[in-house]
Amino acid sequence: MMFNISLDILFRTLYKNALLQKKRGVFLVLLSSVLRLVLSFLFLFLFGLFSPENYLIFVLNFLIVFLLFVIFEITILLSNLQHI
């Protein structure tokens, strides 16, 4: 849970900076998305090392939630970009 909260704080900070700096804004949003993806896969890998039981179920649940979050994020970004 703390992992997701820390990623959310990181994303919100980068997103606010992206809105303030229009030249580097797209790069910052893309960087935050890639960073979140890499850190999520690192979290899955470390969880699999330390807790191998029911790992497949956890990975499937994690990926479903992550996919829903990405879809939600894309819709929010598109709605915010339409105002610019």
- Which pLDDT value is given to residue 83? 64
The letter for the amino acid at 75 is T
Instruction: Show the domain range for 13.
Output: 2-82
Q: Which of 9, 11, 28, 32 is nearest to 20 (CA)?
A: 28
Quote the tokens at residue 49: 């090392």
pTM of the model: 0.63
CA 16 to CA 29: how far, in whole Å?
10
Q: What's the confidence (pLDDT) of residue 20?
A: 60
- Say how many domains are in the chain: 1
Residue 16 or 52, more confident: 52
Q: What is the pLDDT of residues 55-65, one digit of tens each?
A: 889 889 988 98
Q: What is the pLDDT of residues 19-44, one digit of tens each?
A: 666 666 667 777 777 888 888 888 88
